[in-house]
Homo-oligomer: A and B are copies of this chain.
Amino acid sequence: MGMGRPREFDADIALDRAMEVFWRHGYEGATIAQLTEAMGINPPSLYACFGNKEGLLKAALDRYTKARGAWMDEVVAAPTAREVAVRMLMGIADKQTDPANPPGCLLVQGGIACGTGSENVPFELAARRAQNEDQLRERFLRAKAEGDLKETADPAALARYVSAVSVGMGVMASSGADREALRQVADVAVQAVEAQSVRD
């Protein structure tokens, strides 16, 4: 039997375009008309490929978190907890003010609060943010085992802290903070991790 007419657009490229729309307008603020126009396709193609609007968001998030996961691997590969925090927060400052993307972080801009019918979107985003936090916690646990962090340090609390600062920086970026302002925040934030580190 035949395989049917092949798709005329590249799903990954289309997802990148959709990602930008969700990033800029949020899940509820993004309309199907904006999404299809940015993706260069018509609504039936979108629904055939991604199911519905929420399916499209999840596919875009998958692509976003995949790229972000690769970067997180580099972050936690840093030799010390302090250096992990520096790479993480300085990297966040740069990424969230990268003119190639909308300002801020998709995992925040996507939707913190949503209306009836989209209640699970904030949960979906929170779950993905939690993945980053998990990765940081494991790294800080190791740092404590290695004697890099003090005996009194709480790796879970440190991971939550770095994650919270990242999110806060994302919100500031989306409301106009420039790269230098975010770097200053990162610089201050690192000092809390430093305070939990064993001096050389």
Contacts and interface: CB of A to CB of B under 8 A. Distances in A.
B196 A192 contact: no
Contact of A112 (B109, B115, B129, B184): B109
Contacts of A192: 188-192, 195
A156 to B, nearest CB: 8
Residue from the set A108, A113, A115 with the largest chain B CB neighbour count within 10 Å: A113
A23 B156 CA distance: 28
A123 interface: yes
A109 B122 CA distance: 11
Q: What does DSSP make chain A's interface, helix, strand, loop or mixed? A: helix
Interface residues of A, number: 56
Q: Which 7 A-B pairs have the closest CB atoms?
A: A29-B115, A168-B168, A164-B168, A26-B113, A126-B175, A157-B184, A192-B192
Given A24-B113, A161-B184, A164-B165, 10 more contacts: A25-B114, A104-B112, A110-B113, A126-B176, A129-B175, A157-B188, A160-B177, A164-B189, A191-B196, A195-B195
A188 B189 CA distance: 9
Given A126-B175, A185-B160, A191-B195, A25 B113 contact: yes
